[in-house]
Amino acid sequence: MALWGGRFSQGPAQSVAALSRSVDFDWRLAQYDIRVNVAHVNGLSRSKVISSGDCEKIISALKELSSEIANGSFTFNDSDEDVHSAIERGLVQKLGALGGAFRAGRSRNDLVVTDFKLYIIDNILEIAQTLTLLVDALNRVADQYKGALAPGFTHLQHAQPINFGHEIAKHSHAFLRDVDRISDWLDRNSYSPLGAGALAGSGLQPHPEMSAEELGFKGALLNSIDAVSDRDFVAEALFIFSVIGIHLSRIGEEFTIWSTTEFGWAKLDDAFSTGSSIMPQKKNPDIAELARGKSGRLIGNLTGLLTVLKGLPFAYNRDLQEDKEPVFDSVETLQVILPAVIGMIETTNFDTARMANGALAGHALATEIADFLARAGVPFAEAHETSGACVRLADSLGIEVHELSDAQLASVHQLLSPEIRKTLTGTGATNSRISASGTAESSVTAQVKSLTKLNVLALKKIEEARNNFTRMMSI
């Protein structure tokens, strides 16, 4: 059903209808559209544009429509341009002429952006909650392996031994930042565009702040032109989704490498890996690879939207219809990838003996020699040179630097006494790094404790927001 036929002598050409039609994808907004319409109709009743009797009739028809949409008995048809026209058709079917009265003083321009904001709030909160499950899984694995020694890399070369729990816990920090970003997003974007009309505001709906309150927003936007044209909240959401994707891709890369025969650190569970159609022996880390690969489309969706927005005139332009599909795609991508990654993390077995075996390779304890000398008062440049000389000596003997004998160490520098053995072992080295962010087991234990606490707090906040949202949506 078209909402704008009056001044046209004929309907749009078929090709135009096909181009213009968005209902196939924006139907996802149906329940939000109903809720926003209820708030709008309440506003019209407050300003006496419609009687309170008519208001009740329209709202109960909208409620009916909402259940019919939920149970699938009402849906869009071939003649509907978008979700808004489909819902108006449903209302007219129920109420006749009154079904066309409810849209006084609002345009699809303020309606669509309000619907869309509610859709994002709903889904970004769900994603935030799933992130807390991911953090919980990571925290548990970090806790389980907080005593395990592993090689630490820079440039993908052996650098210094680390505690494997520390290696896993780093991801929890990244995802908690994403949760934090979502909370910032909610704070900044909790303002309603409803009441902006097409672009100039509405004389029939003079109290948008009351509709905003009804819809759970902190307030109404103060400039109607900005309200209908701003899509910063969309770009910011897509940025958050991209960063989550990037974080997932880095986990994906690690699990892919760790499960190679060469590394042999990670044994993926059968339920969280896949086989090959030709090579019967294969067990592939497809979840890890998809986690890595899907970041491409998440970033693509952000780039696509930013390109649509660049140079766009104010206020509403039809280009803005292009804002929705990237968000739907990013949300739905995260909804499938996050649970699979959580499962992969929870079920992977790590071979601690193998990790510990390699932890000291590549002269990984050379820094301990330099640190030991620095602690003994040797200027660090000299300490560094001396440790380098030890590496050269070990290399010439075909051994690792920590395998040099007491005599050999003392031959390089007289301060290299047997006392150095305390930190010239894997656990000696890691457990000496006792700063809060360090890799000592005591620090990692405290770190995981604080991560767990932060995650519980974050979850509590998210659950509260989700409950409020559900309450607001129920009409």
By C-beta, is 320 or 390 nearer to ligand ARG? Answer: 320
For residue 160, the cross-strand partners are 152
User: Does 233 sit near ligand ARG (CB under 6 A)?
Assistant: no
CA distances 249 to 244, 270, 292, 333, 334, Å, are 9, 21, 4, 13, 12
Options 60, 67, 276, 450, the catalytic residue: 276
**Contact between 219 and 191 (Cβ < 8 Å):** yes
Segment near ligand ARG (CB under 6 A), from 307-315, 317-325, 333-341, 456-464? Answer: 317-325
Given the residues 9, 15, 73, 155, the one annotated as active site: 155
> Taking contact as CB under 6 A, which single stretch among the options 125-133, 312-320, 334-342, 422-430 is the one that binds ligand ARG?
312-320
Query: Binding mask 68-97 vs ligand ARG (x if CB under 6 A, - otherwise)?
Result: --------------x---------------
Mode of pairing for the β-strands spanning 219-220 and 191-192: parallel
Beta-carbon contacts of residue 39 (< 8 Å; ≥ 6 apart): 194, 211, 214, 215
Rounded Cα distance, 6 and 295, in Å: 46
Residues 96-115, mask of contacts with ligand ARG (x by CB under 6 A): ------------xx--x---
Cα 347 from Cα 293, distance rounded (Å): 21
Measured between its terminal Cα atoms, the distance across the chain in Å is 25
* Cβ nearer to ligand ARG, comparing 323 with 441: 323
Give ∠ CA 84-90-91 in degrees, rounded to 5: 90
Residue 7 interacting with ligand ARG (CB under 6 A): no
Binding ligand ARG by CB under 6 A: which of 255, 316, 350, 372? 316
Q: Which range binds ligand ARG by CB under 6 A, 32-40, 72-80, 277-285, 316-324?
A: 316-324
Pair of tokens at residue 14? 């078929």
Look up 384 and say whether it is catalytic. Answer: no
Q: Which of residues 20-39 bind ligand ARG (CB under 6 A)?
A: 22, 26
Alpha-helix runs per DSSP H in 202-360: 208-214, 224-229, 232-258, 286-309, 324-347, 352-358
Q: Is 40 in the site for ligand ARG (CB under 6 A)?
A: no
The reply on whether position 320 binds ligand ARG by CB under 6 A is yes
Cα(23)–Cα(148) distance, rounded to whole angstroms? Answer: 54
| Beta strands 266-267; 349-350: pairing state | antiparallel
Percentages helix, strand, coil for the chain (3-state, rounded to 5) are 65, 5, 30
Nearer to ligand ARG, 82 or 88 (CB): 82
- Report the residue number, 82 or 136, with the smaller CB distance to ligand ARG: 82
Name residue, tokens 């969280």: 272
CB of 142 to ligand ARG, least distance (A): 44
Q: How far is the CB of 318 from ligand ARG (least distance, A)?
A: 6
Contact positions vs ligand ARG (CB under 6 A): 22, 26, 82, 108-109, 112, 316, 318, 320-321
Q: Which residues have a catalytic role annotated? A: 155, 276
